Structure 1
Amino acid sequence: MIGLFNDCFPPIMDGVSLTTQNYAYWLHKKTQNVCVVTPKSPEAKDEGEYPVYRYSSIPIPMRKPYRLGFPRIDWPFHERINRLSFELVHAHCPFSSGALAMQISRSQKVPIIATFHSKYRADFERAISSKLLVDVLMKRVIRFYEAVDEVWIPQASVEETLREYGYKGKVEVVDNGNDLTVDASVEALRTAERARLGINENELMFLFVGQHIWEKNLSFLLQGLSLIKGQSFKMYFVGSGYASDELKKMAASLGLSDKVCFVGSIIEREKLKGYYAAADLFLFPSLYDNAPLVVREAAALSTPSVLIKGSTSSEIINDSENGFLTENRVEDFASRLTQLCMSPQLVKQVGERAAESIVRPWEDVAEEVYDRYVNLIKRTAK
């Protein structure tokens, strides 16, 4: 059995959750021998073809909808999980699920891989005022990665963050994939979705998809939009998070109520695909994210992204070739958007090149992942 461990899984949606889901789906197609281990969630249905083993959890204050897991005290869960024989475990998070993966790796003497997805220090610093305590927690995180057999990162620029945190070992780059495909033409889907949303022919549509948290630079995004509100556009925010209510209030205070629409979380992938297809530009000014799936998802629907120059997220973007970059100043961001509003042909061409250059199907990624798993299992056996 191959075990995929993460601290969240659908219906809790973020990039790491979606990555774990796609690993499970495609590896199951290939091997029929994969499971997911994750905390319990009240809305979870787990009706997939592969088993999902969940352990006790409670909500995390100020981090809705995330859950804090307690696998050690969940005895019925332990009875189920201890009956499984693992060949390899893959931790996508260093906390409760990662600690459990490490325990299984040691007790069953099987290899463990850990993927470094997130900027954990920023998460700690937002919730904890003591720098000393943050440093202690980060040392624990790094000890976890130092103890595994292989550390994977989703793109090369993420290595810099790991090194800043103090990790000195080897890393392997394993790209993320994309699960959004279009059966007919993107243009046909775009036309239909814009009609559904009431976007007129001369109106631009901007889109953000992700957690509604301040770390993603969303106040910067709203401030930038307030400087161009004379332009004809609609901005859609998809997602949820602790900052959702404050974001709505901020949009109103900046005079953007008639320009900005908050649609909440969208779990249905086909519905989300429609928003990506309808958008002219995907706005993602986050300095917090490492390798966001949403930029690749937008590209799959030929929608180019606007990112901050020098951010980890922007590594896969060449300015005006497969996306757009701007300085981390509100005025520069607003100026770039104004420029792009007047260059629809450039936006269209860059979107098409984004689809060609940064989109890779999850099925292909899973093939590479499985080969890496097999090689590591064989090396460990020797």
Structure 2
Amino acid sequence: MDLRAAGGGVMRLDIAFVTETFPPEVNGVAMTVGRLVGGLRERGHRISVVRPRQGQADLGGAHELALPGLPLPGYPGLRFGLPAGRQLARHWRQHRPDLVHVVTEGPLGWSAVSAARRLGIPVTSGFHTNFDRYSVHYGLGWLRPAVAAYLRTLHRRTRATMVPTAALAADLAGEGITGVRVVGRGVDTALFDPARRSSALRAGWGVPEAGLACLYVGRMAPEKNLALIEKSFAAIRSACPEARMVWVGDGPSAARLRASHADHHFAGTRLAEDLATHYASADLFLFPSLSETYGNVVAEAMASGLPVLAYRSAAAAELICDGANGHLAAPGDETAYVAAAIALAGRAERLPELASAARAAMLPRNWASVVERFESVAREAMLA
């Protein structure tokens, strides 16, 4: 296949993204897919999106195919797609893409892989969520082997599986998935910027100007290990009574957290500049999740000038230099995590130095280079 246009220019690609989630939905996968789709379109490629319909009136926007779906248990506002092999095959016979990229591995994604393979269209996939690990947190641990086997089978049927980190690539390769390619993730350093720090917002949180504001941003759900944030902040509060815990986000655990911590500040879901201002106005980011494939919030926090305390896993393992721009604990070592939280709170004079280093580490990590890498892997898969 010749991927160069007449005159030596780079040929425009026609790529169909198949995803269960897409902006304006708020989660890391939707944000990542939105960045990739937007970036590829800016580079002149024709990108279409296949996704579940959000309500009866949703017919999809330009270059979108909205198909039937069902609500995702525990995640209001999200839907998983139903099998649609025949409809996809009919659609792609009429408008044949050069490549199908399957973002999520639900029934819609599986049927997209099957339909594309039957039509001889190259297929790639993305690995964004550790669904097998999630099952443990929802009382379905007995399903984990079956879920893991399903995920492995789906990705083995694609020409390339794109992942955000080298560590995840090694894990998947070790499970027998071939064609794993590291594409990475970017962060918008113009949006997430320490300059957005707001004294007025901090005052609204009840934080004195020289006080300590601890922050969590993300889904409030069992798989995020939020109990360790509660434990860590209680230890911080014992050493620093004026410290304040701020939660940004929503989810199935939100009601319990609000009921248990009347002295914490719950900001709900925040978007765009409002979200960026919340990041920049805090002093320390607590993120003890062990279920991430990446964790975009770690990069966003660091770009905002926030030292991050996390386990040595996913994005944190790749982005944080322990003691230089944040702190890491060995995965699962809660004692070490809490001890690090106390140490950081007790040495507030070091936080500005860590904050500056965190910001500097994120400046080279732009989305343009990630989009270019995706395009390169897509072309490689088409030639395979």
Under a length normalisation based on structure 2, what TM-score does the superposition of the two structures give? 0.85
TM-fit CA distance, 1:127:
4.3
* CA-CA distance at 1:33 after TM superposition: 0.7
Shift in CA distance, 129/344, structure 1 to aligned 2, threshold 3 Å: closer
The equivalent residue for 2:178 is 169
Q: Kindly indicate whether the alpha-carbon contact (under 8 Å) linking 1:56 and 1:74 is maintained by their aligned counterparts in 2.
A: no
| 1:302 and 2:305 are equivalent in the alignment | yes
Instruction: Give, as a single letter, the amino acid of the residue that structure 2 aligns with 1:311.
Output: S
Q: Per-residue CA shift, 1:204-231, capped at 9, x if unaligned?
A: 1111111111111101110221223231
What do residues 169-188 of structure 1 show as CA deviations (whole Å, max 9, x unaligned)?
242111111135159x7345
Is contact 2:53–2:59 with CA below 8 Å preserved after alignment? no
Gap runs ≥5 in structure 1: none
- Gaps spanning 5+ residues in structure 2: where? 1-13
| Equivalent runs, 1:235-274 vs 2, <5 Å | 235-249=245-259, 251-252=260-261, 257-258=262-263, 260-266=264-270, 268-274=271-277
How big is each residue's C-alpha offset from its partner over 1:281-302, in whole Å with a ceiling of 9 and x where there is no partner?
A: 1110111112111111111111
User: In the alignment, does 2:188 pair up with 1:179?
Assistant: yes
Shift of 1:38: 1.4
Output the CA distance in 2 between the equivalents of 1:73 and 1:87.
Answer: 18
Q: Aligned-pair distance for 1:46?
A: 9.3
Letter in 2 for 1:140: Y
Counterpart CA distance in 2 for 1:55 and 1:134 is: 28
| Secondary structure in structure 2 of the residue aligned to 1:299 | helix
How has the CA–CA distance of structure 1 residues 197 and 84 changed in structure 2, closer, same or farther, with 3 Å as cutoff?
Answer: farther
CA distance in 2, matches of 1:239, 1:150: 33
**Counterpart amino acid of residue 117 in structure 1:** H
Task: Tell me the equivalent position of 1:352.
Answer: 356
Q: Is the 8 A contact 1:9 1:21 kept in 2?
A: yes
Q: Cα distance 1:329–1:204, how it changes in 2: closer, same or farther (>3 A)?
A: same
CA–CA separation in structure 2 for the residues paired with 1:186 and 1:129: 41
Match of 2:96 among 62, 66, 85: 85
- The 1:43/1:323 distance shift into structure 2, 3 A limit, reads farther
Q: Is the 8 A contact 1:208 1:283 kept in 2?
A: yes
Hey, what does 1:311 align to over in structure 2?
313
Distance 1:69 1:195 in 2: 44
Residue in structure 2 matched with residue 13 of structure 1 by the alignment: 26
- Aligned counterparts of 1:235 and 1:275: Cα–Cα separation in 2: 12
Residue pair 1:180, 1:273 contacting (<8 A) in 2 also = no
Please tell me whether the aligned partners of residues 236 and 345 of structure 2 are also in contact (alpha carbons under 8 angstroms): no
| Distance in 2 separating the partners of 1:214 and 1:128 | 10
Report the residue type matching 2:297 in the other structure. Answer: V
Give 2:230's match in structure 1, choosing from 222, 229, 234: 222
Q: Deviations over 1:52-106 (max 9, x none)?
A: 322111212333333122142996x876565322111111212234224313421
Equivalent residues, number = 366
> For 1:118, which of 129, 134, 143 is the aligned residue?
129
AA aligned to 2:150 is R
Task: Give the equivalent residue in structure 2 for 1:323.
Answer: 326
SS in 1 for 2:309: strand
Q: State how far apart, in whole Å, the 2-side matches of 1:81 and 1:191 are.
A: 53
In structure 2, relative to structure 1, the CA distance for the partners of 1:246 and 1:162 (3 Å cut) is farther
Counterpart of 1:105 (choices 108, 116, 136) is: 116
Q: Is 1:151 matched up with 2:166?
A: no
Who is 1:286 aligned against? 289
Residues 41, 78 of structure 1: CA spacing in aligned structure 2 closer, same or farther, 3 A cutoff? Answer: farther
With the length of structure 1 as denominator, give the TM-score of the two structures: 0.86
Percent of pairs with identical residues:
24
**What is the CA–CA distance in structure 2 between the aligned matches of 1:59 and 1:81, rounded to whole Å?**
26
Three-state SS of the structure 1 residue aligned to 2:166 is coil
Distance 1:188 1:270 in 2: 8
- Verify the 8 A CA contact 2:72 2:79 in the aligned structure 1: yes
**Matched position secondary structure for 2:285:** strand
